[in-house]
Amino acid sequence: MAALYAQLLVGLINGSFYALLSLGLAVIFGMLNIINFAHGALYMMGAFCAYFVLSLTGLGYWWALIIAPIIVGIFGMVLERTMLKWLAGLDHLYGLLLTFGLALIIQGVFQNFFGSSGLPYAIPDELQGGMNLGFMYLPIYRGWVIIFSLVVCIATWFLIEKTRLGAYLRAATENPTLVRAFGINVPRMITLTYGLGVGLAALAGVLSAPINQVRPLMGENVIIVVFAVVVIGGMGSIMGSIVTGFALGVIEGLTKYFYPEASNTVVFVLMVLVLLVKPTGLTGRAA
Amino acid sequence: MTALTDDTLATTPGAMRDEMIVFAIMAVLLAAVPFTGIYPFFVMQALCFALLACAFNLLIGYGGLLSFGHAMFLGTGGYVTGHFLKVGAISLPYWPGMWFTIPFPPFSPEMAIIGGTAVSCLLAVITGYVSIRRQGIYFAMITLALSQLIYFIYLQAPFTHGEDGIQGIPQGKMLGFLDLSNTTVLYYVVLVGFLAGFLLIFRAINSPFGEVLKSIRENEQRAISLGYKTDHYKLLAFILSGTLAGFAGSLKVFVAQNASLTDVEVAMSGLIVLMTLVGGLGTVFGPVVGAFVIIAMQQYLAGFGQWVTVIQGVIFVACVLLFRRGLIGEIAHLLKRSL
Amino acid sequence: MKKSIASLLLGTALSLLAADVAFAQDKLDKVVKIGSLSDQSGLYADLGGPGSTLAAQMAVEDSGLTAKGWKIDVIAGDHQNKPDVGVNIARQWFDVDKVDVIVDVPNSGVALAVNNVVKEKNGVFLDSGAGTSDLTNAQCTPNTVHWSYDTYTLAHGTGTALTKAGGDTWFFVTADYAFGAALERDTTAAVTALGGKVLGGVKAPLSTSDFSSFLLQAQASKAKIIGLANAGADTTNAIKQAAEFGITQSGQKLAALLLFITDVHSLGLNVAKGLNFTETYYWDLNDGTRAFAKRFQERAKNHSMPTMVHAGVYASLIHYFKALEALGGNPHDGAKVVAKMKEIPTDDPLFGKGSIEPNGRTIHPAYLFEVKQPSESKGPWDYYKLVATIPASEAFTPLDKSTCPLLKK
């Protein structure tokens, strides 16, 4: 029984990453109708940023949590301004292809300079050690991951769904012309939104650096699981992505306990099942 | 919303004649390869990928559906054919993790190819049924996720040997007398396979079926209002595309003599898209040219290590932003012909 | 029409001529091309990678053959831990680049695949990177010599020592590919031969970065020893995370079945102290090993010390050159050269005196090491203390137990 709880808790930790990443994806897709294939690469950049902030300036983890999302977010906004804008009137598939190509470039460049092995990033001193929960020994850092992602997810949801800025963002996606008529700078909103989504990815990267080591390919495989999460949760639904992200992490943990061989595939099998029953995902809107 | 293939020219009456001439030139050029100094192994690989890209192009160029999971067909064709050639036994799962094995001796090449292609067809039917419900980016995402599901299944399945792959696959004698371990014989067999697959696609495009597909791509609502069951046509196109991709995978196994996880990875699906994009989405010969370009690049730039990935990414971005018609598409546009 | 027939005939004639010329090459010459096929940028890049290319170059220089008029080239390739990539490179090297001998090849899956290609093309395969004992058992060929270590060595070194010291229940965390499986199999055999029990195991994909769920399963099994049947970055990640999850504190011992000095360097002595493992080369063992290490370190990336893989590349090539000199030149016939190598006993400053068995296995002593406590270390790279020397007869599969088809004559 203890083993089951332990795997569930590990699953919740993984779910935190899924939730944070799918949140970023959902924000970008919901607002911009772009599938951001580069999300995994940007997550990786966040982790590398944290590593460099530490090695070049000596500023530690807590600073990295703020600096890395800002730097990578700005990078994302530059990408949006220079490249994604060109594709505004075209088929959305072009956006997918463009971001896929960007991911290849970013990952390839990092791989060239850093190889495929990981660079170490230490757990910050304040979060070292662990707590004996009885059924397992939980490293404090991993507990922090769960709490922090929960807070960020809820804060983002609140920002988008309940504040005025969020209202402008949502309106700008649904009817850009009308919103522009109200005097709101729509292109700037779009750029900012992309920056926000990218920043969330980078934040997940910083969070993941002490656990997963800083590696150029760290985003590659997790991103496809996150795509599946977003498809299940409903593309464009913020709350859907958050809930599905955590839930799928837990389900994966359960599978690891009962039937480990299927733990990699359970997310995709669930996706197929959900699609057969409800093609728009659990909470998504039809597009 | 501009569709992905809006830039391709409509077929003019002289178009089919143009295309047949180019086809004949291509066939002769390829047939002459063993007499030049070009490394035949490289050309054979390029041919397999060219057929794969053509199969993919059938779906996007004429069906308007971008599949980001075609690697699953390549891999399935490869693994199944490789397994039949090396081991032969057929294992059917009757419970997750439990297999029921019918011991067969290793198959002959033609039976192995048929087996590999048949299993790919079956996979295409199942995955097509799930994916066709959606289109556009949703379709792409679903095919991506499905191919990742297949990847993980193959990672675990005992017959694929996971990370190690199926190695040392024997080439055997095709139809009893064509010794496939002779490079020249193998080359012509692969060439015939490629030309046959290509002609099949060509025939499908220029048939009533192809016309309906094109009309669905242009305006699906209109096609539905005209009484066509568009979902059926799209599913048929998906199955045809997947089966031929599996056939390409089967052929590739004879060339490489191994089947591995690389063939089922997302990167492979991306590579297929890149080949077709570079050559020209929706053109007839674009995928062939694109495949040769990309395979040549991988071969001759291999010394540059991971820069190859960066270069591929740059080509992707450049093609999407500036060069949407692709190589053949631009040439066709200049010459005002359909290629 | 006539033009194409003429060109066709001309082309055929020319190619036949070329083939004729190729046949005439069955004599000896003084041209050698060496291919160092390794993982240049992934999880095994530090234990093999560019260091192996350097070791190969050092072997060429030390052999003195270039001064005697030989033309020897060393090229490097990156197999990216993928068997199909490795096979493609190997095939191209033999077909197009006229490579004679392939060295290094860490990653047993790639090594087994390349093994097939080398046999087909009658080249020479001197593997010092991969671990699987299959290379000299079921998969042995007349073209392959397996250097440095194999999974039998590791199993009978570390596995035996730890079981004898009281660790009689084991749980394996295995890298899910040929090497991990071979290491788990051989270690299980060694443990059970001494009366120990294997309580279970879990397979982790190659290049896993987060071992938490696997380690938790290991913890739940309550086995006394958690055997890490993996290598490189997989091992170091597992060790670090085991410390994080308090597994080592609560009484279970970690057995790093394959550990290299580069791994200890990246872990740091604080984390790695006390680990027991088996290696066949350590830079600080004797004067011979020290001399080589000093020269290697000067030229190596990040000034790292040579691992037993690098040492194996060097030693295998030195011996290869001896065989070529004995033959009077390079016959470009792999099986012939390897047969000659098996006739001559091996002797180099790195591994000492040894020999090559008929199944392609090099025999020399192995060593059981323990990682020093931080207080015991006098400086960087001073990490190991010698616990025991394992004689050659115990360190490798005895010939009568070997399943190599070549032996059955």
3-state helix/strand/coil string of B186-255: HHHHHHHHHHHHHHHHHHHHCCHHHHHHHHHHHCHHHHHHCCCCHHHHHHHHHHHHHHHHHHHHHHHHHH
Can you tell me the distance from the alpha carbon of B339 to that of B333, in angstroms, rounded to the nearest whole number? Answer: 9
Looking at chain A from residue 92 to 111, which residues have their Cβ under 8 Å from any Cβ of chain C?
111
CA dist B105 → B89, B108, B110, B157, B180 (Å):
7, 9, 14, 20, 19
> Which contacts qualify for A120-123: CB closer than 8 Å, 24 or more apart?
A120/A213, A120/A214, A120/C266, A121/A47, A121/A50, A121/A51, A121/A54, A121/A209, A121/A210, A121/A213, A121/A214, A122/A210, A123/A61, A123/A210, A123/C244
Predicted local distance difference test score (pLDDT) of residue C21: 43
Whether residues A35 and B140 touch (CB distance < 8 A) is answered with yes
Q: Check if the beta carbon of residue C163 is closer than 8 Å to that of residue C196.
A: yes
Whether residues B163 and C15 touch (CB distance < 8 A) is answered with no
Given a cut of 50, whether residue B16 has pLDDT beyond it is yes
- The residue of chain B with its CA nearest to that of C18 is B37
CA dist C88 → B184, B256, C114 (Å):
18, 8, 9
Given a cut of 90, whether residue B250 has pLDDT beyond it is yes
Whether residues B317 and A101 touch (CB distance < 8 A) is answered with yes
- Please give the tally of structural domains in chain B: 1
* Nearest CB neighbour to C233, from listed A118, A253, A256: A118
Query: Is the same domain home to C316 and C245?
Result: no
Whether residues C216 and A120 touch (CB distance < 8 A) is answered with no
Given a cut of 70, whether residue C14 has pLDDT beyond it is no
Q: Check if the beta carbon of residue B201 is closer than 8 Å to that of residue B55.
A: yes
Q: Is B118 buried (19+), middle (13-18) or exposed (0-12) by CB count in 10 A?
A: middle
Q: What is the DSSP letter of A285?
A: P
At C189-227, the pLDDT tens digits run 999 999 999 999 998 888 787 888 899 889 888 899 999
Chains touching chain A through at least 3 C-beta pairs below 8 angstroms are B, C
Mean per-residue pLDDT over chain A, rounded? 86
Q: Check if the beta carbon of residue C192 is closer than 8 Å to that of residue C198.
A: yes
Burial per residue of C250-262, b for 16 or more beta-carbon CB atoms within 10 angstroms, e otherwise: eebbbbbbbbbbb
Tell me the pLDDT band of A151, cut-offs 50, 70 and 90. very high
Distance in Å, alpha carbon of A165 to nearest chain B alpha carbon:
28
The full length of chain A comes to: 287
SS (H, E, C) B15-81: HHHHHHHHHHHHHHHHHCHHHCCCCHHHHHHHHHHHHHHHHHHHHHHHCCCCCCCCHHHHHHHHHHH
Predicted local distance difference test score (pLDDT) of residue A205: 94
Confirm or reject contact between B41 and chain C (CB < 8 A): yes
Which amino acid is it at B265?
E
Given a cut of 90, whether residue C243 has pLDDT beyond it is no
Predicted local distance difference test score (pLDDT) of residue B36: 82
Burial per residue of A73-112, b for 16 or more beta-carbon CB atoms within 10 angstroms, e otherwise: bebbbebbbebbeebeebbbbbbbbbbbbbbbbbbbbbbb
CA proximity to C241, closest of C260, C223, C219: C219
Can you tell me the distance from the alpha carbon of C175 to that of C170, in angstroms, rounded to the nearest whole number? Answer: 16
Confirm or reject contact between A258 and chain C (CB < 8 A): no
The SS3 call for residue B280 is coil
Section B27-44 average pLDDT: 86
The full length of chain C comes to: 409
What six digits make up the tokens of C159?
Answer: 């596995």
Question: CA Rg, chain C, in Å?
Answer: 22
Tell me the pLDDT band of C25, cut-offs 50, 70 and 90. very low
Beta bridge partners of residue C253, listed in sequence order = C225
What six digits make up the tokens of A172?
Answer: 């700008």
Section A28-33 average pLDDT: 80
Predicted local distance difference test score (pLDDT) of residue C23: 44
Whether residues B165 and C83 touch (CB distance < 8 A) is answered with yes
Whether residues B262 and C112 touch (CB distance < 8 A) is answered with no
Phi, psi torsion values for B108, nearest 5 degrees: -80, 160
Q: Which residues of B touch C81 (CB under 8 A)?
A: 163
Beta bridge partners of residue C169, listed in sequence order = C197
Instruction: Suggest the residue from A112, A114, A116, A207 to mutate for an interface test with chain C (most C CBs closer than 10 A).
Output: A116
Confirm or reject contact between C266 and chain B (CB < 8 A): no
Confirm or reject contact between C19 and chain B (CB < 8 A): no
CA proximity to C203, closest of B92, A11, B155, B127: B155
Predicted local distance difference test score (pLDDT) of residue A31: 74
Q: Which residue has the tokens 């994302």?
A: A76
Predicted local distance difference test score (pLDDT) of residue C24: 42
Whether residues C213 and A7 touch (CB distance < 8 A) is answered with yes
Q: In what order do the strands lie in the sheet with C362-363?
A: C346-348, C352-356, C362-363
Distance in Å, alpha carbon of C194 to nearest chain A alpha carbon:
30
Beta bridge partners of residue C352, listed in sequence order = C348
At C105-117, the pLDDT tens digits run 998 989 999 999 9
Whether residues B152 and A227 touch (CB distance < 8 A) is answered with no
Handedness of CA C168, C174, C177, C179 (dihedral sign): negative
Distance in Å, alpha carbon of B52 to nearest chain C alpha carbon:
18
Given a cut of 70, whether residue C2 has pLDDT beyond it is no
Assigned domain for C106 exists = yes
Residue where one domain finishes, among candidates C320, C343, C360: C360
What six digits make up the tokens of C84?
Answer: 């199909």
- The residue of chain B with its CA nearest to that of A272 is B130
Q: Which of A64-78, A119-133, C310-324 has the lowest mean pLDDT?
A: A119-133
Distance in Å, alpha carbon of A226 to nearest chain C alpha carbon:
17
More confident residue, A238 or A197: A197
Predicted local distance difference test score (pLDDT) of residue A287: 44
The SS3 call for residue C144 is strand
Within 8 A by CB and 6+ apart from C298, the residues are none
Give the number of A-B residue pairs with CB atoms closer than 8 Å.
133
Q: Which residue has the tokens 């004689």?
A: C391
Whether residues C42 and A130 touch (CB distance < 8 A) is answered with no
Can you tell me the distance from the alpha carbon of C270 to that of C375, in angstroms, rounded to the nearest whole number? Answer: 10
Domain coordinates of chain A in residue numbers?
A: 18-218
Burial per residue of B82-107, b for 16 or more beta-carbon CB atoms within 10 angstroms, e otherwise: bbbbbbbebeeeeeeeeeeeeeeebb
Pairing of strands C197-204, C225-229: unpaired
Q: Check if the beta carbon of residue C202 is closer than 8 Å to that of residue C131.
A: no
At B184-206, the pLDDT tens digits run 889 999 999 999 999 999 999 88
Distance in Å, alpha carbon of B57 to nearest chain C alpha carbon:
26
Predicted local distance difference test score (pLDDT) of residue B338: 66
Burial per residue of A137-166, b for 16 or more beta-carbon CB atoms within 10 angstroms, e otherwise: bbbebbbbbbeebbebbeebbeebeeeeeb
Query: Is the same domain home to C216 and C267?
Result: yes
Q: What is the DSSP letter of B302?
A: G
Confirm or reject contact between B163 and chain C (CB < 8 A): yes
Can you tell me the distance from the alpha carbon of C280 to that of C329, in angstroms, rounded to the nearest whole number? Answer: 31
Q: Which residues of B touch C93 (CB under 8 A)?
A: none
- The residue of chain C with its CA nearest to that of B37 is C15
Assigned domain for B59 exists = yes
Given a cut of 90, whether residue A239 has pLDDT beyond it is no
Section C69-80 average pLDDT: 90
Q: What is the DSSP letter of C80?
A: T
Given a cut of 60, whether residue C22 has pLDDT beyond it is no
Whether residues A224 and B310 touch (CB distance < 8 A) is answered with no
In which domain, by residue range, is B135 found?
A: 40-264
Assigned domain for C25 exists = no
Whether residues B260 and C78 touch (CB distance < 8 A) is answered with no
Whether residues B266 and A224 touch (CB distance < 8 A) is answered with yes
At B132-181, the pLDDT tens digits run 888 778 888 889 989 999 998 898 888 888 888 888 888 888 787 778 78
CA dist A98 → A190, A199, B265, B316, C297 (Å):
17, 19, 19, 7, 44
More confident residue, A116 or C137: C137
Q: Which residues of B touch C206 (CB under 8 A)?
A: 163
Given a cut of 80, whether residue A70 has pLDDT beyond it is yes
Query: Is the same domain home to C98 and C204?
Result: no
Assigned domain for C118 exists = yes
Predicted local distance difference test score (pLDDT) of residue C128: 92
CA proximity to B73, closest of B204, B269, B296: B269
Given a cut of 70, whether residue B333 has pLDDT beyond it is yes
Can you tell me the distance from the alpha carbon of B240 to that of B246, in angstroms, rounded to the nearest whole number? Answer: 10
Burial per residue of B162-178, b for 16 or more beta-carbon CB atoms within 10 angstroms, e otherwise: bbbbbbbbebbbbeeeb
Given a cut of 90, whether residue C348 has pLDDT beyond it is no
Question: CA Rg, chain A, in Å?
Answer: 19
Looking at chain C from residue 27 to 46, which residues have their Cβ under 8 Å from any Cβ of chain B?
40-41
Assigned domain for C259 exists = yes
Q: What percent of chain C has pLDDT over 90?
A: 44
Assigned domain for B26 exists = no
Domain of C76, CATH number, reads 3.40.50.2300
Report the 10 Å Cβ neighbour count for B303. 11
- Please give the tally of structural domains in chain C: 2
The SS3 call for residue C383 is coil
In which domain, by residue range, is C179 found?
A: 152-279+366-391
Can you tell me the distance from the alpha carbon of A92 to that of A37, in angstroms, rounded to the nearest whole number? Answer: 12
Q: Check if the beta carbon of residue C114 is closer than 8 Å to that of residue C136.
A: no
Mean per-residue pLDDT over chain C, rounded? 87
More confident residue, A58 or C12: A58
Query: Is the same domain home to C356 and C227?
Result: no
How many angstroms from the chain centroid is the CA of residue B207? 21
Q: Check if the beta carbon of residue C83 is closer than 8 Å to that of residue C108.
A: no
At B256-305, the pLDDT tens digits run 888 989 899 998 999 999 999 999 888 889 999 999 999 998 888 877 77
Instruction: Suggest the residue from A117, A133, A218, A259 to mutate for an interface test with chain C (most C CBs closer than 10 A).
Output: A117
Pairing of strands B98-102, B173-174: unpaired
Section B108-113 average pLDDT: 88
Handedness of CA B34, B38, B44, B46 (dihedral sign): negative
Phi, psi torsion values for A165, nearest 5 degrees: -55, -45
Chain A interface residues facing chain B, Cβ-Cβ under 8 Å? Answer: 35, 83, 86-87, 89-94, 96-98, 100-109, 111-112, 220, 224, 227-228, 231, 235, 259, 261-262, 264-265, 268-269, 271-272, 275-276, 279, 287
